Amino acid sequence: MAAAARATTATLLRRPPGTHPDDVPATPEELLRRAALGDERAFALLYDQLVGPVFGTVLQVLRGRAHSEEVTQEVLLEIWRKAAQFDPTRAKVSTWALTIAHRRAIDRVRSEQSARDRQERSDLLDTRRPYDDVAEATMSTVDRDLVRQALAVLTDLQRESILLAYFHGLTCREVAEKLGVAIGTVKTRMRDGMIRLRDALGATR
């Protein structure tokens, strides 16, 4: 992971030819101090010391390796950019770095959860709005037995999608997961199915 990650920040981590690790003091605090002055060699060594613990901290929160590697890079770049802001009287460099790592990981979890919540709400609205007038008219003017008779004219996927959404209260995403089909397919089948259901109910009244 370290090799791949370092490749993405080559401009920060490239060690000039002819230099040696012993040229730079090895303590994280001294390395960070020198990195704050623009010493890329110092940051390269600091990177080597921090990348493992930072990645481990992020992975504990995110679980997924790919996202953890991405967030690890964000953390190390933040450390590079904020090196001058570090106060050695308040914490060790390792503690500071892992605090940033944990915060970044939590932020990523919240961001992804928020995105999922927005998508689910959008899916629910996208699913319900085109059919609400039909569904409300259907359920308010005829009983369920008549609706079930009309459902017989639908395809299996149309019928199952509508039953799950309107009789069992599932969202469009939940219907798609339950039936093992794409969410777009469910939306299309429900739209077409509600149109056919409306026509069938109109013919039976």
Q: What is the CATH number of the domain that holds 23?
A: 1.10.1740.10
Is there a single domain that holds both residue 176 and residue 83? Answer: no
Is there a single domain that holds both residue 106 and residue 160? Answer: no
Is there a single domain that holds both residue 101 and residue 158? Answer: no
Is there a single domain that holds both residue 10 and residue 82? Answer: yes
Q: Is residue 97 part of a domain?
A: yes
Is there a single domain that holds both residue 30 and residue 89? Answer: yes
Residue 9 has pLDDT above 50, yes or no: no
pLDDT in tens, 88-141: 999 999 999 999 999 999 999 888 887 666 666 665 555 554 455 555 554 444
How does residue 16 score in pLDDT terms, banded at 50, 70 and 90?
A: very low
In this structure, which amino acid lies at residue 134?
A: V
In this structure, which amino acid lies at residue 85?
A: Q
Is there a single domain that holds both residue 94 and residue 152? Answer: no
The domain boundary, picked from 100, 117, 134, lies at 117
The pLDDT of residue 34 is 93
The domain boundary, picked from 101, 117, 133, lies at 117
Residue 37 has pLDDT above 50, yes or no: yes
Buried b (16+ CB within 10 A) or exposed e, 170-180: bbbbbbbeebe
Is there a single domain that holds both residue 39 and residue 84? Answer: yes
Q: Is residue 136 part of a domain?
A: no
Is there a single domain that holds both residue 28 and residue 103? Answer: yes
Q: Report the alpha-carbon distance of residue 196 to residue 198 in Å, rounded.
A: 5
Range of the domain at 188: 142-204
Q: At what angle do helices 183-204 and 132-141 cross, to 10 degrees?
A: 40
Q: Is residue 129 part of a domain?
A: no
Number of domains present in the structure of the chain: 2
Residue 203 has pLDDT above 60, yes or no: no
The domain boundary, picked from 50, 82, 117, lies at 117
Buried b (16+ CB within 10 A) or exposed e, 37-69: eebbbbbbbbbebbbeebbebbbebbeeeebbb
pLDDT in tens, 41-83: 999 999 999 999 999 999 999 988 888 999 999 999 999 999 9
Is there a single domain that holds both residue 81 and residue 147? Answer: no
Greater confidence (49 vs 13) lies with: 49
The pLDDT of residue 125 is 52
> pTM of this prediction?
0.49
**Residue 155 CB neighbour total at 10 angstroms:** 12
Could you tell me if 50 and 94 are in contact, meaning their C-beta atoms sit under 8 angstroms apart? Answer: yes
The pLDDT of residue 144 is 58
Q: Which of 18-27, 143-152, 166-175 has the lowest mean pLDDT?
A: 18-27
